[in-house]
């Protein structure tokens, strides 16, 4: 599992998904880095990312019935992961995603793809910062009578949540009574960045940020 975490972190850095600058996060915090999942927009990068998720799902033996990709970034990701599970890991799994607004005509409803009712659902998303997006997805799945068994994000920023003590990930797990996994963490990203002396300034800024807002471990 440790190999998967570092390999994925290396891939994300090499793909320039980690951007440096001055960013305002959904939580309102000012961050010296941003995880720009939108850069994984080529077929190769999306396929490779989906393969890491599929590998993680297989290694963890999560065995969902459906991969759910919340709109918008999770939608192509969820489809690509389902394809990778079938193609690369010989595992047939359906997929679903949601509309941002409920459709009142045609097929109607909020869910597109496989119905969620009474199915084991693994939700896939990009990054966990405050945990607010997780609440919306799990609430929707439960409203559709689905069974949320796990939530997977690419990166855990390892930041404190609203309590100021526990991580946002742990807070969301406890609040929603669901297992939340991250394929990699900002610690693994920092390990990659520290290999090059040209990244000294960026590493220092991220370390200072984590001193203010991060959690241990």
pLDDT in tens, 80-122: 999 999 999 999 999 999 987 665 555 557 899 999 999 999 9
pLDDT tens by residue, 22-41: 998 877 889 999 999 889 88
pLDDT tens by residue, 178-207: 999 999 999 999 999 999 999 999 999 999
CA distance 36 to 125: 12
Cβ atoms of 108 and 126 within 8 Å: the answer is no
Residue 103, token pair as written in the block: 């459709």
Cβ atoms of 5 and 185 within 8 Å: the answer is yes
Residue 192 neighbours by CB distance under 10 Å: 19
Radius of gyration of the chain (CA): 17
Q: What are the distances in angstroms from CA 185 to CA 96, 147, 148, 215? A: 26, 26, 23, 12
* pLDDT over threshold 60, residue 1: no
Looking at the domain that runs over 2-213, which CATH code has it been given?
A: 3.40.50.2020
Q: What is the DSSP string of 1-24?
A: -HHHHHHHHHHHHHTT-EEEEEEE
* Cα separation of the two ends of the chain: 16
Does the pTM surpass 0.85? The reply is: yes
If DSSP states are collapsed to H, E and C, what string results for 110-171? Answer: EEEECCCCCCEEEEEEEEECCCHHHHHHHHHHHHCCCEEEEEEEEEECCEECCCCCCEHHHH
């Amino acid at each position: 599992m440790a190999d998967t975490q570092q390999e994925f972190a290396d891939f994300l850095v090499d793909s320039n998904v980690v951007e440096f600058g001055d960013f305002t996060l959904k939580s309102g915090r000012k961050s010296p880095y941003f995880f720009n999942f939108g850069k994984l927009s080529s077929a190769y990068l999306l396929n490779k990312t989906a393969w890491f998720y599929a590998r993680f799902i297989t290694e963890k033996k999560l065995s969902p019935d459906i991969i759910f990709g919340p709109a918008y970034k999770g939608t192509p990701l969820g489809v690509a992961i389902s394809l990778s599970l079938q193609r690369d890991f010989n595992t047939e799994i359906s997929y679903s995603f949601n509309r941002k607004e409920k459709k009142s005509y045609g097929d109607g409803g909020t869910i597109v793809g496989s119905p969620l009712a009474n199915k084991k659902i693994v939700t896939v998303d990009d990054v966990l910062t405050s945990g607010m997006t997780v609440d919306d997805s799990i609430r929707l799945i439960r409203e559709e009578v689905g069974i949320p068994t796990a939530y997977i994000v690419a990166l855990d920023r390892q930041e404190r949540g609203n309590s100021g003590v526990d991580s946002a990930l742990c807070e969301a797990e406890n609040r929603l009574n669901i297992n939340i996994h991250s394929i990699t963490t900002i610690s693994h990203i920092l390990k990659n960045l520290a290999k090059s002396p040209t990244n000294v300034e960026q590493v220092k800024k991220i370390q200072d940020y984590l001193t203010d807002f991060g959690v241990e471990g």
